[in-house]
Amino acid sequence: MPSDQAFDPTRRQIVGGLASGAAAAAVAGPALGQQSSPSTSQTEGQGAAASAGNGSLLLLQKQDPTEQYPKPPFPEQPQEWPGLASEMEPRPDHGEESYLGSGRLTGRKALITGGDSGIGRAAAIAYAREGADVAINYLEAEESDAREVIELIEAEGRTAVAIPGDIREEPFCRELVESAVEQLGGLDILVNNAARQQWRSSITDISTEDFDATMKTNLYAMLWITQAAMPHLEAGASIINTASVVAYDPPEILLDYSMTKAAIVNFTKCLAKQVADQGIRVNAVAPGPFWTPLQPSGGQPQENVTTFGEETPMGRPGQPVELSGLYVLLASQESSYATGHVYSATGGRGGP
């Protein structure tokens, strides 16, 4: 198991800023110099994080990325799908203490599916700390994780909207968007992130029920939600879809899941062309192995969970906060010329 040092809050604080700054610098370059100063509510809301160390001064320090977070072996930890972050060991870092905002999304309104845990939770925390109001969708079984996210958003002085429900149902998808728009007072950022992943060793083991559930969660819902959102999105809006490295290098045990992630890449590229003349940008993020409830709740065999991420050059899985910078960048005006692109963070293995 990793040493206790991997969980030192001072170390984690550095990571949030590096994840945000490095990702933005790599793609946006000089635009970072145009960031606005944090609002008063943001500064106050970040008191817990700042108290862990010396605030933004620590963000300038460099460190070995292979040692920033826990490495395998991890304990077996089976959960019922969809799983809870609060029951994972080690618990994932979504930026609760490590992400510091700088006002890059002040006044924006965001809807994030799967915002209770994993990558969606990291995006929700980062968006709130960048000044956005945020609505999250999740399943009722994930309520305890979702409550934590809502509290973190509200701690930043932002509006937080919780909308539980099953996105496999078309009527709910459309109600989800309308409810988010009504409670947020508009919509500027849509993050299609929620996903279903269940491993099967053979194509003959994938039931029609399983296949249908994966397709509806990962693809149908994305279509329905985006359709419902379009009338509310104005020039300057951003749609961000969560794809995966498996769209490019599919594991043999994730046939149906990998199919959906490849489709998300094409959905992103095609929709970007459709809506560019409306001033709406569409991009995707293709993560590699990230430590989220998706894995122990049926996304991987338990023997794979214990070694998850060790095959990457980094030797570990990514933590959700390490994607925060990409999701913020793609939602912000700093990436104003980026549309139809897929950005990856894979620990050095595969991807676009």
User: 128-165: per-residue pLDDT in tens?
Assistant: 999 999 999 999 999 999 999 999 999 999 999 999 99
| Calpha distance 212→196 (Å, rounded) | 11
pLDDT digits (tens, 9 = 90+) for 268-296: 999 999 999 999 999 999 999 999 999 99
State the average pLDDT over residues 50-67.
Answer: 53
Q: How many CB atoms lie within 10 A of CB 306?
A: 16
More confident residue, 168 or 57: 168
| Calpha distance 75→88 (Å, rounded) | 9
Structure tokens at 49: 């994080």
Structure tokens at 129: 């700390």
Asked whether 309 and 289 are in contact (CB, 8 A), the reply is yes
pLDDT digits (tens, 9 = 90+) for 167-189: 999 999 999 999 999 999 999 99
Q: How many CB atoms lie within 10 A of CB 168?
A: 20
Percent of the chain with pLDDT over 90: 80
Query: With 90 as the cut, is the pLDDT of residue 59 above it?
Result: no
Q: Which residues is 161 bridged to in the sheet?
A: 135
Query: With 90 as the cut, is the pLDDT of residue 75 above it?
Result: yes
Residue type, 284: A
Q: Determine the distance from the C-alpha atom of residue 105 to the mean position of all C-alpha atoms in its chain, rounded to a whole number.
A: 16
pLDDT at 254: 98
> 190 in a domain, yes or no?
yes
Virtual CA dihedral for 136, 94, 340, 214, nearest 10 degrees?
-60
> 174 in a domain, yes or no?
yes
pLDDT at 54: 30
Q: State how beta strands 238-242 and 281-287 pair.
A: parallel
| Calpha distance 172→113 (Å, rounded) | 12
CATH number of the domain at 309, please.
3.40.50.720
| Phi-psi sector, 315: left (phi>0), alpha (psi -120 to 50), beta | left
Please indicate whether residue 99 is annotated as part of the active site: no
pLDDT digits (tens, 9 = 90+) for 89-122: 999 999 999 899 999 999 999 999 999 999 999 9
Q: Which residues span the domain enclosing 174?
A: 104-345
| Confidence bin at 61 (pLDDT 50/70/90) | low
> 258 in a domain, yes or no?
yes
Q: Give me the chain's average pLDDT, please.
A: 86
| Confidence bin at 62 (pLDDT 50/70/90) | confident
Task: Point out the least confidently predicted range of 34-48, 79-93, 129-143.
Answer: 34-48
| Calpha distance 271→316 (Å, rounded) | 34
Tell me the pTM.
0.84
> 293 in a domain, yes or no?
yes
What residues contact residue 8 under an 8 Å CB cut-off, 6+ apart? none
> 331 in a domain, yes or no?
yes
> 220 in a domain, yes or no?
yes
Number of domains within the chain: 1
> 89 in a domain, yes or no?
no
Which among 257, 327, 337, 343 is annotated as catalytic?
A: 257
Burial (Cβ within 10 Å: 0-12, 13-18, ≥19) of residue 78? exposed
| Residue labelled with tokens 């610098």 | 25
| Calpha distance 281→59 (Å, rounded) | 29
> 24 in a domain, yes or no?
no
